[in-house]
Structure 1
Amino acid sequence: MYLVNSKRSKACSRRFGSVFDVDQLSGQISQLEVQMARPDFWQDSEGAQRISRRLGDLQADLELWRSIEKKATQYLDLPEDSLENFRAEIEDFIAGFQQARIRLFLSGKHDLGNALVYIYAGAGGDDAQDWARMLLRMYQRYAQIKDFEVSLIEKSENDQGGIKSALLEVKAPLAYGLLKGESGVHRLVRLSPFSAKQLRHTSFALVEVMPQVSAKSVIIDPKDLKIETFRSSGPGGQNMQKTESAVRITHLPTGLTAEVQSERSQLQNKERALSVLASRLTRLLELQKAKEFSELKTSLGPGGIEWGSQIRSYVLHPYKSVKDHRTELESHDPEAVLDGQIDVFIEAELMHD
Structure 2
Amino acid sequence: MFPTLQAKLTRYEEVEKMLQDPEILADTQKMVELQREHGGLGKVALSVRRFNGLEADVAATKELLEAETDPGTREYAAHELHELEQQYDALRTELEDMVTAGDSLTRGSLIMEIRAGTGGDEAALFARDLFNMYTRFVDMRGWKYEVMDLSETELGGFKEVSLSITGEGAYHQLQFESGGHRVQRVPETETQGRIHTSAATVAVMPEVGEVDVEVRDEDLQIDTMRAGGPGGQKVNKTESAVRMTHLPTGLVVRIQDEKSQHKNRAKALRVLRSKLFELRMGQQHEARSEQRRTLIGSGDRSERIRTYNFPQNRLTDHRIGLTIHKLDQIMMGHMDDLIQPLLQFDREERLKGTQGLATA
Matched, 1:199 2:189: no
**Secondary structure of 1:154's aligned partner:** strand
Are residue 136 (structure 1) and residue 126 (structure 2) matched? no
User: Which residue is equivalent to 1:159?
Assistant: 154
Q: Please tell me the residue identity of whatever aligns with 1:324.
A: D
In structure 2, what is the equivalent of residue 284 of structure 1? 279
Correspondence 1:324 to 2:307 = no
TM-score (norm 2): 0.66
**CA distance in structure 2 between the partners assigned to 1:215 and 1:246 by the alignment:** 23
Match of 1:112 among 107, 130, 152: 107
Task: Calculate percent identity across the aligned residue pairs.
Answer: 33
How many residues in Structure 1 have an aligned counterpart in Structure 2?
276
CA distance in 1, matches of 2:112, 2:314: 24
Which has the larger displacement, 169-178 or 250-259? 250-259
The residue identity in structure 1 corresponding to 2:224 is T
Partners of 2:182 and 2:52 in 1: how far apart?
41
* 1:267 correspondence with 2:244: no
Task: Note the C-alpha offset of 1:63.
Answer: 9.0
Cα distance in 1 for residues equivalent to 2:210 and 2:193 = 47
Q: Distance in 1 between matches of 2:51 and 2:337?
A: 23
Whole-angstrom CA distance in 2 between matches of 1:242 and 1:145: 37
Contact 2:107/2:169 (8 A) holds in 1: yes
Contact 1:247–1:269 at 8 Å: present in 2 too? Answer: yes
Cα distance change on mapping 1:62 and 1:238 into 2, 3 Å: farther
SS for the counterpart of 2:279 is helix
Q: CA separation in 1, counterparts of 2:96 and 2:317?
A: 21
**CA distance in 2 between partners of 1:196 and 1:286 (Å):** 46
In structure 2, relative to structure 1, the CA distance for the partners of 1:345 and 1:254 (3 Å cut) is: farther
Q: Quick one: which amino acid aligns to residue 265 of structure 1?
A: S
In 1, Cα distance between equivalents of 2:263 and 2:315 = 40
Would the alpha carbon gap of residues 60 and 145 (structure 1) be closer, same or farther in structure 2, given more than 3 Å must change?
A: farther
- In 1, distance between residues paired with 2:176 and 2:248? 26
Q: Equivalents in 1 of 2:95, 2:138: separation in Å?
A: 19
Q: 1:344 aligns with which of 324, 334, 337?
A: 337
Which letter maps to 2:278?
R
Cα–Cα, structure 1 residues 115 and 191, in superposed 2: closer, same or farther, change >3 Å?
A: same
| Residues 187-208 of structure 1: CA deviation (Å, up to 9, x unaligned) | 1001122122222111111111
How far apart are the structure 2 equivalents of 1:177 and 1:160?
Answer: 34
1:230 aligned to which of 206, 219, 225? 225
Alignment of 1:1-353 (within 5 A): 27-28=1-2, 32=6, 55-59=45-49, 105-108=100-103, 111-215=106-210, 217-236=212-231, 238-288=233-283, 289=285, 309-317=303-311, 319-353=312-346
Q: CA deviation at 1:119?
A: 0.4
Task: Write the distance in 1 (CA, Å) between the matches of 2:206 and 2:170.
Answer: 9
Q: CA deviation at 1:139?
A: 0.3
Q: What is the CA–CA distance in structure 2 between the aligned matches of 1:209 and 1:58, rounded to whole Å? A: 28
After superposition, what is the alpha-carbon deviation per residue over 1:147-201, rounded to whole angstroms, capped at 9, x for unaligned? Answer: 1112222211001010001112111111111111111111100112212222211
Structure 1 counterpart of 2:2, which letter? Q
Gaps of 5+ in 1: 1-26, 74-98, 293-298
* Superposition CA RMSD, Å: 3.8
Structure 1: distance between partners of 2:51 and 2:185 = 45
Residues 145 and 327 (structure 1 numbering): CA distance in 2 closer, same or farther, change over 3 Å? same
In the aligned structure 2, how far is the partner of 1:192 from the partner of 1:244?
36
Question: Can you list the C-alpha shifts for 1:315-341, whole angstroms capped at 9, x where unaligned?
Answer: 012x22101111111110100111111
CA contact (8 A) 1:106 1:112 kept: no
Deviation of 1:248 after TM superposition, in Å, equals 1.2
More deviation, 248-257/133-142: 248-257
Change (3 A) 1:191 1:32: closer
Aligned mates of 1:135, 1:163 — CA distance in 2: 10
Higher percent of residues as helix: 2
In structure 2, relative to structure 1, the CA distance for the partners of 1:315 and 1:227 (3 Å cut) is: same
Q: Which amino acid aligns with 1:335?
A: D
The 1:336–1:101 alpha-carbon spacing in structure 2 relative to 1, beyond 3 Å, is farther
AA at the equivalent of 2:306? R
